[in-house]
Amino acid sequence: MKPWLGLAALFLFALGARSATAQTCTLTVSTLNYGTYTGAALNGTATGKVTCAGAWDIPLNAGTGVGATETIRKMTGPGGAVLNYALFTDSARTNNWGNTTGNELTGTGNTSITVYGQVAAGQSPTPGTYTDTISSATTTFTVTVVVQATCTISASALAFGTYTTALASSNSTVSVSCTNTTPYNVGLNAGTATGATVTNRSMVGPGSALLHYSLFSNSTHTTNWGNTIGTDTVTGTGNGAVQGLTVYGQIPAGQRPTPGNYTDTITATVTY
């Protein structure tokens, strides 16, 4: 899928004046657009300029996300899904920017400022565009990010042990992790043996001897696991966690290859 960016403008808003005399202070800030989130910690910044004759402070509220606080703000996306993020007053992202004494940004006179944001790592929300509205005084600005659909895949070895011409079976696991609600297909290729197909795989041993075997997606060894989407792949829907798919392997009985070690390499591919 092609990620797209939802852009929104930040608006002019009033600052809280700290001096005893009346004064008008304003702040202009660029959009805080994080770009695309793929599960790793993502930093973003917005730059602005304070126009003020005296001392000022800038409080930022918790935002509009359900359950948000000044330290854990929440952007809202498809179906009400949320994505946690934080706003800071410093580039090291250690000083939270809130609206209580000690957590506000303070200063004097005309100056440039930066809003430092960070989306926490390890989240797996539904792909789509997420936004939040932050208020300071009587005006607001928007924070936005796009969550991109992603999947990762890994696999464990399938070891049959010792083959004695009797039917041999063994299992292994393909592990898939996809963003929440992301549909996927997992395919297994034919392997590396000369002439192998997804229905007639072979392990290679001494002197290029072959030992035939099959891979299945069900425990009764009746559904071949191949590499053609819509025909013989395994489908699923991501939930943000690792999902284990069992590979059922079987060596037919009655083969009498040259004694020795036999191996094959299967490539597992996740398509989403």
Give residue 176's pLDDT: 98
**Cα 51 to Cα 140: distance, rounded to the nearest angstrom:** 17
Q: Are 242 and 175 in contact (CB under 8 A)?
A: yes
Cβ 99 vs Cβ 59: under 8 Å: yes
Is a pLDDT exceeding 60 seen at residue 130? yes
228 alpha-carbon distance from chain centroid: 26
Tell how far CA 95 is from the center of its chain: 26
Task: For residue range 164-215, list pLDDT tens digits in order.
Answer: 999 999 999 999 999 999 999 999 999 999 999 999 999 999 999 999 999 9
- Predicted confidence at residue 272, as pLDDT, reads 96
Same domain, 107 and 194: no
Take residue 191 and report the two structure tokens written for it: 């392997």
Torsions phi, psi for 103 (to 5 deg): -110, 0
Please state, in angstroms and as integers, the Cα–Cα distance from residue 41 to each residue in 65, 81, 262, following that order: 19, 18, 43
pLDDT in tens, 4-15: 222 222 222 333
* Confidence at residue 195, expressed as pLDDT on a 0 to 100 scale: 96
Q: Please give the average per-residue pLDDT across 38-55, as a whole number.
A: 92
Q: Which of 112, 147, 182 is the last residue of a domain?
A: 147
Residues 41 and 127 in one domain: yes
228 Cβ contact list (under 8 Å, min separation 6): 187, 198
Question: Is-contact 101 91, C-beta < 8 A?
Answer: no
CATH number of domain containing 105: 2.60.40
Tell me whether residue 58 is in a domain: yes
Verify that 64 and 96 share a domain, yes or no.
yes
Q: What is the DSSP string of 161-204?
A: ----SS-EEEEEEEEEEE-TT-EEEEEE---SSTT--SSSEEEE
| Same domain? 90 vs 134 | yes
- Asked if residue 55 lies in contact with residue 131, where contact means CB atoms within 8 angstroms, the answer is no
Are 85 and 65 in a shared domain?
yes
Read off the pLDDT of residues 61-107 as tens digits, 9 standing for 90 and up. Answer: 999 999 999 999 999 999 999 999 999 999 999 999 999 988 999 99
Asked if 42 and 87 sit in the same domain, the reply is yes
Which band of pLDDT confidence, cut at 50, 70 and 90, is reported for residue 136?
confident
Measured distance CA(254)–CA(237) in Å, rounded? 39
In this predicted model, what pLDDT tens digit does every residue of 220-257 receive, in sequence order? 999 999 999 999 999 999 999 999 999 999 999 999 99
Return the bridge partners of 83, or none: 75
What pLDDT score does 110 carry? 95
Quick check: is 3 in a domain?
Answer: no
> Which residues form the domain of 203?
151-271
Residues 89 and 173 in one domain: no
Read off the CATH number of the domain in which 263 is found.
2.60.40.1090
- For residue 115, give the H/E element and its range: strand 111-119
Instruction: Please give the C-alpha separations between residue 20 and each of 4, 23, 50, 58, 190, in angstroms, as whole numbers.
Output: 47, 9, 19, 16, 78
Confidence of residue 3 (pLDDT cuts 50, 70, 90): very low
